[in-house]
Structures are given as structure tokens and as C-alpha cells.
Amino acid sequence: MSTQPLARDRLQAIYALPDHEVVETLLPGIGARLVPVDEALARIAAVPGLVPVAIDHTQGGRVLWADLADHPFREWQFLFTVKHLAESGAIGEHFSTSIDILKDPLVVNGGLTPSGFIFHISRCGSTLAAKALARAPQHVVITQGGPLQRGFWAYLTDDWRKPLEATPEALAMFRNLVEAMTRPRRPDQSTAFVKFISWNVLYADFVAAAYPDVPALFLYREPVEVIASVMNETTAVLHAKGTREAAFLTGKSIEESAALSDVVYLAECYARYFETAAASHISSLSWLNYVDLKPERFADIVARGLKFTPAPDVVDDMLEQFNFHSKDDSDSAKFKGDSAEKRKAMSDEDKALIRKVCGGYLADLDRAPRNLFPRG
């Protein structure tokens, strides 16, 4: 992946780009404004809106911090919250620190232990689920938080030169990072949820080791539809193609992954997600097919999948999201099903290739007992 500064006209796909590059473009100089850990801890304690917004795994590892004040995280991804606030001049102080700050428990400052995690395959309704949860004012929802996009994992694995190890120090750093992001910034915020970027499901065991009692959902969808959507836009895993990260994502060598067509490469990535979810021994992980993500089922999905039972008025707040396109933060675009359209966009040859790679895993997830709505 490139580590060159981004031009502003490339920011339309910020969810697919390295988090620190995006933030350093939105907040020029943030990486160079290095503050000693003790001084930073004092500022973080004094300013409730100061949260981690990215991690630069280079230069020994740095955390980028920004004061987002009490802005609710309602945008469809965390980095779009940062973008919106940066462009409107609403971000307060911002600076960087050594990543060692994540080893200090004082960095948490009352951050909320998550009540549930959302893993997903991509383009499968996970944004809808997260934005529905975020409609309740008492919920802090981190939707693909910048530091967890790539930077933290790149730091722990030396940019995928070594495997991720669930050492006590790494797990403590992860918990401190998550809870620094979930700090309540409004008086009524009392419950937190975290939605990860799609490929983070490959680290589900690490997440569960850090939070063994937190329930999690894995959302998935017919991969033909997912890949049709990705090919029309982009995704972080495509930007990783031909790198060490791609070798991790596919289980193949760098050269093998680079030689695959984009369609087959994506299918290999998604097959690994399916395989990981199906083989997981995490008792708190449940599975949900996109076709079962319906408003009349959402309260049940949250209750059984996330072990969370909201009050009726909170459910009403959340169900409002089902009326709108989840990637339109203005709530002006009405939701319209597009599964048939996506299938038509793929050639029969590509459909056959995708189903050859992913079909068996998909069937296993659909009929597994831990699926909230098993089939067959």
C-alpha cells in the first residue's frame, strides 16, 4: 500500500485507504505534532472529545488523536465523521503520540466496554445494522474505527511480516485502544458497539481473547452480490492486492495473490472469512445472512445475536434506519433492494468461479446451528 500523501480528490474511497494517510490529509501536520505520553494523558483526561482517529505503524508506531467534541458517530463510517468535522472546521486540538500510550490504562478515561461486536464479509448489511444501533442517542457506535482499519494490526504484525500474537501486552493495548474510542462524549451515552472492517473477522479469535464475554455477530451475503458491489466501488482488500497483507488475507503467496483476477482474488478473501467464521470456537459468535436482516426481525437479532434487549422506544429509534440507504448520511435516499441487479451485473463465468471458491462455505454457514435463522 502507498504511504504517499493523498490528494484530496482521492478521498472518496477513504474507507479503503490506510487510516493514517487519510487523517494526515484531512488534518495536515497531525503526525508531526508529537506530544509526550504524560502530557497527552493529561490532555486526554481534560478533553472528553479527544479520541484516537488513526494509527501510523511506521516510525516506531504513533497514535493520531483529535478532539471530535460531542459529535455523535452517525456517519456510515468513522473516517467519514472525521472528514465531515475536518471540512467544517469542527475538530479541536489534534496531535500524535507514541503508540506506547496504549500500554497505559489511564488512556481509557472512562471508555465503555463494548456490549457487542459486528464482523462481516462486506456489502452485507453491516452498515445498516451499525447505523440502526447508532440512532439511539445513548449508544456509542464505532463503525470501522480508523485505528482498527489497518494501522493497529500493521503495527502488531510489523506490516504482516509476522503473525498476530495474542500476548498479554497486545491484548491490553487493543482493549485500551477500543475503550479510548468508546469514551462517552455526551451525558446520556452508556452503551457501546463496535463494527470492524470486513477482513478483521480473520482476527476474531484475538478480539475474543481480549473480550471473552462480549457477544459478536458475523453478517454475510451471497458473495456474487458482494463482489458485484465491490467491483462497482472498491474495498480495502483490493488495495492490498499483491502485498504481504494480501498473502495473509488469501492464505496464498504474494505472487499467487497478485496473479489472480480481481474477482477470484476477492472470492478467495471471502472464502477465508467464511472458513474462519465456520471454524470459530467462539461461543459468543453468531451468524446472520443478509436476507434475514429485516426490520421486523431486528429486535430479535439484537437480543439473540448481541445479547442486548433495548427498550421499545430505543427499538423504534433504531428501526427508522431501515427506511434509508445506509450509505447516505443525509437520510434523503430511500432504501431499495438491489440483489437482483447485482446478480445481473456479474457474468455467468464469474458467478461460476465465485461459487466454486465460496459455495461450500456459504452453505455451511446457512445451515449451522449458530446461525440465527438456519436453513436446511
Residue 5 has pLDDT above 60, yes or no: no
| Residue 376 is assigned to a structural domain of this protein | no
| Residue 159 is assigned to a structural domain of this protein | yes
| Residue 2 is assigned to a structural domain of this protein | no
According to the model, what pLDDT value does residue 185 have?
93
pLDDT, tens digit, 9 for 90 and up, residues 78-99: 999 999 999 999 999 999 999 9
| Residue 118 is assigned to a structural domain of this protein | yes
Across the chain, mean pLDDT equals 92
The predicted model gives 112-134 an average pLDDT of 95
Q: What is the 3-state secondary structure (H, E, C) of the chain?
A: CCCCCCCHHHHHHHHHCCHHHHHHHHCCCCCCCECCHHHHHHHHHHCCCEEEEEEECCCCCEEEEEECCCCCCCCCCHHHHHHHHHHCCCCCCEEEEEHHHHHCHHHCCCCCCCCEEEEECCCCCHHHHHHHHHCCCCEEEEECCHHHHCHHHHHHCCCCCCCCCCCHHHHHHHHHHHHHHCCCCCCCCCEEEEECCHHHHHHHHHHHHHCCCCCEEEEECCHHHHHHHHHHCCCHHHHCCCCHHHHHHHCCCHHHHHHCCHHHHHHHHHHHHHHHHHHCCCCCEEEEEHHHCCHHHHHHHHHHHCCCCCCHHHHHHHHHHHHECCCCCCCCCECCCCHHHHHHHCCHHHHHHHHHHHHHHHHHHHHCCCECCCCC
pLDDT, tens digit, 9 for 90 and up, residues 226-259: 999 888 877 888 889 999 999 999 999 999 999 9
Domain holding 225, by residue range, is: 8-367
Q: What percent of the chain shows pLDDT beyond 70?
A: 97
| Residue 373 is assigned to a structural domain of this protein | no
CATH of the domain at 29: 3.40.50
Q: What percent of the chain shows pLDDT beyond 90?
A: 80
Residue 158 has pLDDT above 80, yes or no: yes
Better pLDDT: 307 or 11: 307
| Residue 211 is assigned to a structural domain of this protein | yes
| Residue 18 is assigned to a structural domain of this protein | yes
Residue 309 has pLDDT above 60, yes or no: yes
According to the model, what pLDDT value does residue 3 have?
34
For the chain, the domain total comes to 1
| Residue 35 is assigned to a structural domain of this protein | yes
Residue 330 has pLDDT above 90, yes or no: no
